[in-house]
Amino acid sequence: MLTRFRRLPRGAAVLVIGASGTVGTALLDLACHFGLEAIGTCSAANMPAVERFGAVAIDYSAGDFVAAVRRITSGRKGGAGVDAAFDAIGGAHFGSSFACLAKGGLLVGYGSQTMAVGREGLLAAGLGLARLKMWSGLSFLFGGRSAVWYSITDRRVTQPEEFKADMAALFDLLREGAIHPVVVDRLPIAAAREVHERIDAGGLGGKIVLLPWPKPE
């Protein structure tokens, strides 16, 4: 998501929605490696998990995060807003993330958590996807701002060589110690259902590793 749709230069500003979650912390880790200036939304309790990557944390429950993003980026060359935003909440929330973009910015939608947890229905999720397509097709009406949908499952099938290259690059970064995934727990693979429930609840602050053998005492 950080490299396939647009090459962001060092110093570019990015917004990560749900930055303390499993994908959010990975995005922050990679953003730090690429020299990007990251802003992340999270709950007040998880702000330290976001700030440990050098990102600016915004408590989404404290007020309008769009206004907060614009305030934080107000002094940037080219005007307030971020160069890219990453949103897994989906539905109507895509609109708020799109409003955080600077001119020429890109919104990457990669999930629909509101539907997964029952806060929005299939229609709302579908409208969210339709808005991504509209913003992409009519970007000239929105100051060059555009949007794309990202699905790692789809890319594994439709772009297998790129998918393999991306995975190889990630493991190279891990091997070199260039990225530092946050592991909050290690559990036997039999606990997969429990792990998914914890992921759906949000606020993990990192990854859970499933082990193909019993957890050591």
Q: Amino acid letter at 118? A: G
Residue 77: per-residue pLDDT: 85
What is the Cα–Cα distance from 43 to 16, expressed in whole angstroms? 13
What is the Cα–Cα distance from 170 to 121, expressed in whole angstroms? 34
Angle of CA points 8, 43, 32, to nearest 5°: 25
| Cα 209 versus chain centre, distance | 20
Following DSSP, what letter does each residue of 107-170 receive, concatenated? EEE---HHHHTTSS-HHHHHHHHHHHHHHHHTGGGTTT-EEEE--HHHHHHHSHHHHHHHHHHH
Beta bridge mates, 208: 185
In 3D, which of 203, 205, 208, 217 has the Cα closest to residue 187? 208
What is the Cα–Cα distance from 58 to 45, expressed in whole angstroms? 11
Mean pLDDT, consecutive 10-residue stretches, the chain (217 aa), reads 92 94 91 97 91 95 93 90 94 92 96 59 74 92 94 93 95 95 90 89 78 73
In 3D, which of 14, 94, 21, 93 has the Cα closest to residue 56? 14
Are 53 and 26 in contact, with CB atoms under 8 Å apart?
no
Residue 200: per-residue pLDDT: 77
Q: Which residues contact 141 (CB under 8 A, 6 or more apart)?
A: none
Domains of the chain: 13-150 (3.40.50.720), 184-217 (no CATH)
Q: How far apart are the first and last CA of the chain?
A: 38
Q: Specify the pTM.
A: 0.86
Residue owning tokens 């429930």: 197
